[in-house]
Chains A and B, each alone.
Chain A
Amino acid sequence: GAGVSQTPSNKVTEKGKYVELRCDPISGHTALYWYRQSLGQGPEFLIYFQGTGAADDSGLPNDRFFAVRPEGSVSTLKIQRTERGDSAVYLCASSLGVGSGTEQFFGPGTRLTVL
């Protein structure tokens, strides 16, 4: 019944560390999206899943970023060897995924700070 949830809400880490960000989509939504939002900017698309598979990962900035959705529900965004430039709010969204223009429902985001 609840909306999209993301954990943790805040994450502070040191440069070079590995982090995992979790997203729980709305039950029954087959499509799941990850975005990154820097201060004063609009969200930037990272990756989109349809079911368990990544349908479009063209927004991932480099190979330090990876995301999985093994059972077609919960997704984890993984960032290796974090850099200060990775600091941003990471947003997750889900949708019914039945076609173009389906409304996306966003979670509250995880604020990542890399020191």
Chain B
Amino acid sequence: SQQGEEDPQALSIQEGENATMNCSYKTSINNLQWYRQNSGRGLVHLILIRSNEREKHSGRLRVTLDTSKKSSSLLITASRAADTASYFCATTSGGGADGLTFGKGTHLIIQP
């Protein structure tokens, strides 16, 4: 079963604008990760935020985590055409290197 729900399901913006995607989950988590999937290619890890962290940055990416609301957001600043992809949040609940529970994803389209 899928843990997370991304919102929106699809997002289309102009190049240079910021894109924000949200993720909600149901059970308590150990950490939350965001992955990108380009059409026809595998998943690429973007960023990980632990349950005791509230915000994390990596380049043009900013992730927030609100464990009280069981939600996370991914912000991509100054979007580029190459950012067009599907974005998934994924969670782990256990203490080991266990499997990820993914959401359904947000399909992001950057218009040139």
B67 at the interface (CB under 8 A from A): no
Q: Are A97 and B2 in contact (CB under 8 A)?
A: no
Partner of A48, one of B33, B48, B98: B98
* B20 interfacial contact with A, CB 8 Å: no
How many positions in chain B have a CB within 8 Å of any CB in the partner chain?
Answer: 29
* Number of inter-chain CB pairs below 8 Å: 81
B100 contacts chain A at the CB level, 8 A cutoff: yes
**Size category of the binding interface on chain A:** 20 to 34
C-alpha gap A41/B6 in the complex (Å): 11
Q: Which residues of B contact A40 (CB under 8 A)?
A: 104
B112 at interface, CB cutoff 8 A: no
Q: How far apart are the CA atoms of A56 and B30 in the complex, in Å?
A: 17
A65 interfacial contact with B, CB 8 Å: no
CB contact under 8 A between A100 and B104, given known A44-B2, A106-B43, A106-B44 = no
User: CA–CA, A40 to B99, complex, Å?
Assistant: 20
5 nearest A-B pairs in the assembled complex, by CB-CB distance: A42-B102, A45-B99, A106-B42, A97-B97, A106-B43
20 A-B residue pairs with CB within 8 Å: A40-B104, A41-B105, A43-B88, A44-B2, A48-B97, A56-B98, A91-B42, A95-B97, A98-B97, A99-B96, A100-B92, A100-B94, A100-B95, A101-B92, A103-B33, A106-B42, A106-B44, A107-B42, A108-B41, A109-B42
